Amino acid sequence: GSVTTAKTGAEILAALSAAKTAARPVTIMIDGTITPANSNGAEKIDIKDINNVSIIGVANRGEFNGIGLKIWRANNVIVQNLSIHHVNIGDKDAISIEGPANHIWIDHNELYASLDVDKDYYDGLLDSKSGAEYITVSYNHFHDSWKASLHGSSDTDSGERLITFHHNWFQKTNSRVPLFRFGKGHIFNNLYSDNIDTGINARMGAVLKIEHNVFENSQNPIVSFYSDNLGYWDLNNNIFTNVTWVESSADGTIVGPNGKSTGSLTPPYPYTLDDVNKVKEIVMQQVGR
């Protein structure tokens, strides 16, 4: 398809509109700072009712400041090499995915907000719901957020999800790293540091394969809290350093220091696990844009 460079939100929206009209793939290279002020009054950049879209930052110059991306009824979408932060308009998410949508790749981005505000001032850094599935989240740096990454917007938002998280760094987040309601997820070779309340939260029958991750200086790294039905985990060789485990007054359970797997999941694709003792070094060197 076509390749174009955008320096403003208005140019992104124009390129998406042209590709949609022509029914052709498009790659949009972001070379500048996208803001609400240069986005023709839009409260978010909608990738909507269109397939085969790549939004890719140029060097370290691709930035979304105060405005987020929404992938909505779109398939085969790549978001890569961007900084997206402090989004408090529209859905208040840095990136949101609303189905039906599938085959989405979120790779090598920096997504952040702030903990120095009310917990509802911003929303999620990366959320998905309503039939969004087949999503890969790799080499991203998530930090400074009350609500990092939610998948399933309510206890009735069911679906397979089929989301893989690998080689991400979740740093100084309060919760949802990630939160799954229903579905299946594979979470491997990620680094978790200085996370505050809860980490991975499996709810409403979600089954998560959690392996070769490093958790340090964090509370409740793996839990099933705040839904009527528990989720399940399949654990393999994770490292827990200076973590605390606190039972919740709400219905739920924690992995705990001697936790055992409560479910089983075999990912349907080949993959290679990094040595868990090298995960921290690898992730810190390679995440972000």
List, by residue number, the catalytic residues.
Answer: 176
Which among 34, 33, 25 is positioned nearest to 4, based on CA atoms? 25
Which residues are CB-contacts of 247 (< 8 A; sequence separation ≥ 6)? Answer: 254
Q: Is the peptide bond preceding residue 268 cis, with omega within 30 degrees of 0?
A: no
Distances (CA, A) of 265 to 107, 135, 186: 24, 17, 8
Rg over CA atoms, the chain = 18
Structure token pair of residue 175: 């919760």
Contact 279, 213 (CB under 8 A): yes
Which among 183, 119, 180 is positioned nearest to 150, based on CA atoms? 180
Contact 67, 97 (CB under 8 A): no
